[in-house]
């Protein structure tokens, strides 16, 4: 499982000109499920997203997590993160999970993060989405489990 997380002041995702997910301060996370992923990767990723320390403390050090600041989380499925770009001029998606497994594990990630008590919003799986955000910092990390 691969995630690109961005610390944001606000973020939203639209499908067909309608906002389907929107958050204020927190993390906007693009998520790709790889073909060998399982619930083990879901659990590890959920813990990292909630507890990864990317928010500044009183000394301006990245010591606080989403959980610490009671931030919000916007999860957006994006299979293209799992692309193999090592050869040629066209990406290969052979490492991406099949849609049924990807949806199952993405939904499990949403459920696990929601169980933390934080506000969790999502995009729409397999839809053409437009993502808007104000990256705070900018702070962006790639996480892999």
140 is catalytic: no
E-only strand ranges, the chain: 2-15, 18-23, 26-32, 53-56, 62-65, 72-77, 120-122, 130-144
**Which residues make beta-bridge pairs with 64?**
55
125 is catalytic: no
Pick the catalytic residue from 24, 40, 80, 140: 80
Looking at 10-138, list the stretches that DSSP marks H as alpha helix, in order from N- to C-terminal side.
39-51, 66-69, 99-114
Pick the catalytic residue from 6, 41, 55, 79: 79
HSE-up (13 A, CA, CB side) for residue 96: 20
40 is catalytic: no
Pick the catalytic residue from 6, 41, 78, 122: 78
Residues recognised as catalytic? 78-80
């Amino acid at each position: 499982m691969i995630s690109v997380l961005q610390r944001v002041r606000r973020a939203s995702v639209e499908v067909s000109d309608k906002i389907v997910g929107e958050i204020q301060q927190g993390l906007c996370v693009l998520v790709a499920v790889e073909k060998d992923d399982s619930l083990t990767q879901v659990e590890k990723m959920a813990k990292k997203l909630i507890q990864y320390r990317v928010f500044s403390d009183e000394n301006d050090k990245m010591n606080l997590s989403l959980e610490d600041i009671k931030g919000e989380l916007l999860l957006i499925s994006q299979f293209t993160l799992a692309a193999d770009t090592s050869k040629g001029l066209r990406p290969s998606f052979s490492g991406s999970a099949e849609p049924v497994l990807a949806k199952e594990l993405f939904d499990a990630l949403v459920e696990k993060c929601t169980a933390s008590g934080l506000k969790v919003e999502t995009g729409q799986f397999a839809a053409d989405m437009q993502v808007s955000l104000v990256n705070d910092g900018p702070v962006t990390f790639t996480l892999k489990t």
